[in-house]
Amino acid sequence: MWIPYDKFKNIKYLDKGGFGTIYEAIWSDKNMKVVLKCLNNLNDSENFNEFLDEWKNHYKCIGSKIIVHFYGFTKDPKTSKYTVVMDYADK
């Protein structure tokens, strides 16, 4: 599912890792806290297609108690980087 980037507010930096940068945000349509994972190296088509295949498989696991819920994708208009929208797992 595609989620427009302007649906997120109060975006705050959390951490940076090997695969990208993690932010927390409020998804205004649902009034809920989510994680935005801004991933490195997705701007070339080969990496992006592999990435989409991985998340299609993740999407099939929705409903499992051990999988962090995945909501969809967005794209930061300032950096043009694709971003994954997921549950904020604070428990």
Query: Where are the domains positioned within the chain?
Result: 5-87
CA distance 91 to 71: 18
Whether domain 5-87 has CATH 3.10.310.10? no
- pLDDT (tens digit, 9 = 90+) per residue, 43-69? 655 566 766 776 676 666 666 565 678
Which pTM was predicted?
A: 0.74
Express each pLDDT in 21-49 by its tens digit: 899 999 999 999 999 988 776 665 556 67
For the chain, the C-alpha Rg in angstroms (whole number) is 13
